[in-house]
Chain A
């Protein structure tokens, strides 16, 4: 990270969600304004501004992906990866529940590890096939967790932050892992 360079995670996040035609220009604009804000104010407030821009841009970016003529292909790839990795995760969950059957707390500890590993690998596979598929996959992961929480799938009582962690870190790992591993051209 160079001095006056924006938070790398926010950069990676944006590189994952912004469509290629204006990724460079948009990140360049943010980079330039971040540097100006960091010089005139504090780097912390500039980072906060950068993150707010990154998060607030997501709905427009999702809309932009959906307006593209090839969005159906990206969605199909996301569904394919979701089904394949979902099956593997179910198998892993079953194996874990059988292995640690009398110890539910071990299951509580292992579940997020398996979940994050699955979402990270899914994100990498989807990004390898088609970069645009990751945003759909992240949305699908978020919806799945939200539905699981609403239906109270987890029989073991867990605190709210545990569930919230699944809801946020799952989709984030789908988006960020490929950017971290294969974002060779990232200049954050």
Chain B
């Protein structure tokens, strides 16, 4: 729930919980995140919470992605301002 809310706040759009879990499952298969199950709570209808942790491989992949985005967007602003 926290993951979905944070994404929604950052992108300003509603996203489906199914999309979040499907993505997290893919990331877990690739070894980028790991998950563990918490204790069931009454406010969740007796269901357990699943928590995700970023792994070293995930951190490296994130750094590479961030650098790629930086490289792709470098100098774009000066071009927009010229239009």
Task: Spell out A's residues near B (CB within 8 Å).
Answer: 5, 18, 21-22, 24-33, 35, 53, 56-61, 63-64, 67, 187-188
> Which A residues lie within 8 Å of B4 (CB)?
29
> Which B residues lie within 8 Å of A29 (CB)?
1, 4, 17, 44, 49
**B16:A25 contact, CB within 8 angstroms:** no
For A57, the closest partner residue in chain B by CB is B18
Interface of A (DSSP majority class): helix
Complex: how many Å from CA A19 to CA B22? 10
> Which A residues lie within 8 Å of B21 (CB)?
18, 22, 25-26, 60, 64
> Which B residues lie within 8 Å of A21 (CB)?
25
| B42 smallest CB distance to A (angstroms) | 10
For A36, the closest partner residue in chain B by CB is B43
Q: A21-B25, A33-B1, A35-B43 are in contact. Are A28 and B49 (CB under 8 A)?
A: yes
Q: A21-B25, A24-B47 are in contact. Are A32 and B18 (CB under 8 A)?
A: no
| A8 smallest CB distance to B (angstroms) | 12
Complex: how many Å from CA A21 to CA B45? 18
**B22:A25 contact, CB within 8 angstroms:** no
Interface size on B, residues (CB 8 A): 22
**A53:B17 contact, CB within 8 angstroms:** yes
Q: A22-B25, A53-B16, A63-B22 are in contact. Are A187 and B46 (CB under 8 A)?
A: yes
Residue of A27, A31, A32, A61 near B22 (CB, 8 A) is A61
Complex: how many Å from CA A53 to CA B45? 17
Closest 7 CB pairs of A and B: A57-B18, A28-B47, A25-B50, A56-B16, A28-B44, A60-B18, A60-B22
**A25:B18 contact, CB within 8 angstroms:** no
> Which A residues lie within 8 Å of B16 (CB)?
53, 56-57, 60
Residue of A32, A58, A64, A187 near B1 (CB, 8 A) is A32
Q: A29-B4, A56-B16, A60-B18 are in contact. Are A187 and B49 (CB under 8 A)?
A: no
| A16 smallest CB distance to B (angstroms) | 13
**B45:A188 contact, CB within 8 angstroms:** yes
Residue B19 at the chain A interface, CB threshold 8 Å = yes
Complex: how many Å from CA A187 to CA B47? 9
> Which B residues lie within 8 Å of A60 (CB)?
16, 18-19, 21-22
